[in-house]
Structure 1
Amino acid sequence: MEKFKRVFVVVMDSLGVGAMPDSADFGDIGVNTLGHISESVDTFEIQNLQRLGMANITPLKQVAPTDHPLAYYGKLREKSRGKDTMTGHWEMMGLEVTKPFQTFTETGFPPELIKELEERTGHKVIGNKSASGTEILDELAEEEIATGHMIVYTSADSVLQICGNEETFGLDELYRCCEIARELTMRDEWKVGRVIARPYVGKKKGEFKRTSNRHDYALKPFGPTALNAMKDAGLDVISIGKINDIFVGEGITEAYKSKSSVHGMEQTIDVAKKDFHGLCFVNLVDFDALWGHRRNPSGYAQEIEKFDVNLGVLLDTLREDDLLIITADHGNDPTYTGTDHTREKVPFLAYSKAMKGSGELPETDTFAIIGATIADDFGVKMPEGTIGYSILDKLK
């Protein structure tokens, strides 16, 4: 007997809530994405998150914990060895990643990889370093437009990114080059989590703008997840934002791309107004991409405030037999050194109009309670080889 007919999992990408016990192994000391954002700004208006219990999870300067939160709340620790998008999301749905994906932040990509990429694509590579997406365009896009060369860069993530001007390089050509890069980076020594096509428009420095035609070529999950089990059982699995890319379509029945995190929440509200039976899985990437990596706590705070407004609309839209889970996939403390993700615990908020209770849940040792709990609700068996356990009986 299902408790909930529909489950919404909303991932506030990179909203960590404090250091993991092993965070020092990843070079992260004293990190706390949400806590330090709060400390860095004068005002922080998040009434709906406050009502659910977010300020009960980690102390916030301006936002008091509530005596009677609407949701069950707690912290999740990551069992996998990593602090990236794919590792976090895959673990939520039952997969433990024991070997972190390759990063090339300090050195750029090896000459052997670049040489083969040039030969296979027919484009000379420029860039080949860690950079922000906007800075690399200001530095090299005019050269790319003039010569037909190809901008390749990385970041603190396990990614190989290729920029292409939509008018001169062309979207089809950009996607073709990314497919070749994905094939090359399947080798163990070069294996990155994602190859990302980064199309842009504009003709000169100061005018370049990235477009929404971005495409992620992610590694396919190494085994079936809760999503596959649900789809195989005939349930709906609706993805919003980059979820479909993260799982390479595995276990997804319907997918929506988002132009922004605000747009992603608007899409979630629209889906909540429709009839479906199963899961709506949402990733809101702007917290991470626009503010965390760029070390901008005030921008991050404002993004959370925008989210909170739409969260209020979503809460009003939810039906009696809906379950809403709000969580994150890793940290990205905008007050910390460098531009990398930070190894952190993540928040867990679970709310339904049908629940009689609320309050603190014990801290768990894996994100995989999310997929296991959803599977349990729908009476679906988790695939062999997955991790996690259900806490459905605690959501009363």
Structure 2
Amino acid sequence: MRALVLVLDSVGIGGAPDAASYGDEGANTLGHILEKVPELHLPNLESLGLGELVGRDSVEPRTNSPGRLDGVSRYRGSYGKMQERSAGKDTTTGHWEIAGVILEEPFATFERFPDDLVHAIERDAGVQFIGNYAQSGTTILAELGPEHVRTGKPILYTSADSVLQIAAHEQVIRIDRLYDICTVARQHADRFRIGRVIARPFTGPEGNFSRTSRRHDFSMEPPRTILNAISESGHAVIGVGKISDIFAGQGITDSFPTDGNAEGMQKIRENWERIENGLIFANLVDFDMLYGHRRDVAGYARALAQFDEWLGEFLGRIAPPDLVIITADHGNDPTYRGTDHTREQVPLFVLHQNEARALGVRETYADVAATLSEFFAVPSRWPTGDSFLARSDSDRTEAAPLKASN
């Protein structure tokens, strides 16, 4: 009994009914990338029903695209959309809702952190910060990296997300020391409802600073999620990428941190081959971290093409009894103003028992948790969300058209 939940970080598809209230009206990550890069072909996602979600005019499948039979669209899985019920549009909120937790109150965001929080961290960690303002990760290193190297003071900064980030050069502050500082910060961040404390190590000479792969997220501990229920029922729950960090290790039985999409896809494939009973929960972060926030349309398109190529090979490894869910946690439209996440609906592709159905627009990401609850037959039905597994043969029909996002 194998299942995979694969989160394509920030690959939204527009259409969120409350986007305007977040300042994101008109944002459409995948749709706008396809418009800006018309040569981008995603034949394997198209074989799962991508064209029904973004509009056929946005997708030009090759003549040998899988899933195209005799000129009639037949999909290899079920497809739909999900909209977020929780307040917010950050990584933690999205993943927690996928795992069955809906937040009525968003995590807090700051332009600068309150003095009492900063002083408490400095006192208990024995440091003095520089910075304490909102800035992108690459720009903050250019602005404050030289002063940090000269003084040894760690850099404190934030972004539009609910994050408290601490950056330090690995030759100035040892990585274990940086993690210790972040552990102290996490202890104080809870009372301010800050979703994540992030250690941001970097290296290199002045003028050429670059982040290293030893980033570590210290998340607020979540309420009980479907991951707890699955692991308590005796099934493995394997986190790939930053999943264990996002859930503060809760409900995770094994974790494989990764250094980007390529390693993430490798770890998914390796664990899929060895696991016989359990869930793999994976996040592919490059879409968001390297291309969405940096508003790099071409880079985002390349990453999507690389994923689609990998997906084509991976589809052959999925057996009918397996459950594979591919979705996202929020949007990050690289054509949109600013550098922040965007409030969008997210795609939903499901492979299970050769079913091909239109799943419609799901009212919450927590439908994934409810589906996992049914699939793994956990003792108590998950109370949030509705399963999208077919309940009878009559449910197993060809996919019907679904209104595409504008």
Task: Give the corresponding residue for 2:17.
Answer: 21
Per-residue CA distance 1:1-32 (angstroms, 9 max, x = gap): xxxx1111110011111131111111111111
Shift of 1:318: 2.2
State the percentage of identical aligned residues. 45
Task: Give the corresponding residue for 1:130.
Answer: 134
Query: 2:26 matched to 1:30?
Result: yes
Alignment of 1:208-357 (within 5 A): 208-222=209-223, 224-352=224-352, 354-355=353-354, 357=355
| Residues 19/382 of structure 1: CA separation in 2 closer, same or farther (3 Å cut) | farther
Q: Quick one: distance in 2 between partners of 1:19 and 1:281?
A: 26
Instruction: Check conservation: 2:31, 2:58, Cα contact below 8 A.
Output: no
Instruction: Check conservation: 2:7, 2:283, Cα contact below 8 A.
Output: yes
Shift of 1:383: 6.9
Q: Quick one: distance in 2 between partners of 1:122 and 1:383?
A: 47
Task: Give the corresponding residue for 1:359.
Answer: 357
Q: Quick one: distance in 2 between partners of 1:266 and 1:45?
A: 22
Q: Quick one: distance in 1 between partners of 2:281 and 2:179?
A: 26
* RMSD across aligned positions (CA): 1.7
Alignment of 1:363-378 (within 5 A): 363-378=361-376
From 51, 72, 76, the equivalent of 1:70 is: 76
From 114, 121, 135, the equivalent of 1:117 is: 121
Q: Quick one: distance in 2 between partners of 1:97 and 1:141?
A: 36
From 182, 201, 204, the equivalent of 1:199 is: 201
Per-residue CA distance 1:251-292 (angstroms, 9 max, x = gap): 111110011112101111111211320211110111111111
Task: Give the corresponding residue for 1:143.
Answer: 147
TM-score normalised by length of structure 1? 0.93
Shift of 1:114: 2.3
Instruction: Check conservation: 1:226, 1:383, Cα contact below 8 A.
Output: no
Task: Give the corresponding residue for 1:99.
Answer: 105
User: Could you list the runs of 5+ residues in structure 2 that have no partner in the other structure?
Assistant: 62-67, 397-406
Shift of 1:300: 0.9
Instruction: Check conservation: 2:370, 2:381, Cα contact below 8 A.
Output: no
SS of 2:325 mapped into structure 1: strand
Q: Quick one: distance in 2 between partners of 1:234 and 1:116?
A: 41
Shift of 1:152: 0.7
Instruction: Check conservation: 1:372, 1:382, Cα contact below 8 A.
Output: no
How many residue pairs align between the two structures?
383
User: Could you list the runs of 5+ residues in structure 1 that have no partner in the other structure?
Assistant: none
| Residues 102/60 of structure 1: CA separation in 2 closer, same or farther (3 Å cut) | farther
**For residue 329 of structure 1, what is the amino acid of its counterpart?**
D
Instruction: Check conservation: 1:239, 1:281, Cα contact below 8 A.
Output: yes
Instruction: Check conservation: 1:17, 1:347, Cα contact below 8 A.
Output: yes
SS of 2:316 mapped into structure 1: helix
SS of 2:361 mapped into structure 1: coil
Per-residue CA distance 1:56-103 (angstroms, 9 max, x = gap): 111265514862111100011111111111111111111110000001
Q: Quick one: distance in 2 between partners of 1:249 and 1:319?
A: 29
Task: Give the corresponding residue for 1:59.
Answer: 55
Instruction: Check conservation: 1:330, 1:341, Cα contact below 8 A.
Output: yes
From 4, 10, 17, the equivalent of 1:8 is: 4
Q: Quick one: distance in 2 between partners of 1:157 and 1:97?
A: 15
Instruction: Check conservation: 1:162, 1:197, Cα contact below 8 A.
Output: yes
SS of 1:185 mapped into structure 2: helix
Shift of 1:153: 0.8
Q: Quick one: distance in 1 between partners of 2:336 and 2:300?
A: 13
Instruction: Check conservation: 1:225, 1:382, Cα contact below 8 A.
Output: no
Q: Quick one: distance in 1 between partners of 2:160 and 2:133?
A: 11
Q: Quick one: distance in 1 between partners of 2:143 and 2:15?
A: 35
| Residues 268/120 of structure 1: CA separation in 2 closer, same or farther (3 Å cut) | same
Q: Quick one: distance in 1 between partners of 2:122 and 2:237?
A: 39
Per-residue CA distance 1:199-233 (angstroms, 9 max, x = gap): 11123221x221111111001112x1111111111
Q: Quick one: distance in 2 between partners of 1:263 and 1:15?
A: 19
Task: Give the corresponding residue for 2:92.
Answer: 86
**For residue 115 of structure 2, what is the amino acid of its counterpart?**
P
Shift of 1:317: 2.1
**For residue 378 of structure 1, what is the amino acid of its counterpart?**
F
SS of 1:259 mapped into structure 2: coil
Q: Quick one: distance in 2 between partners of 1:246 and 1:118?
A: 24
Task: Give the corresponding residue for 1:380.
Answer: 378
**For residue 123 of structure 1, what is the amino acid of its counterpart?**
V
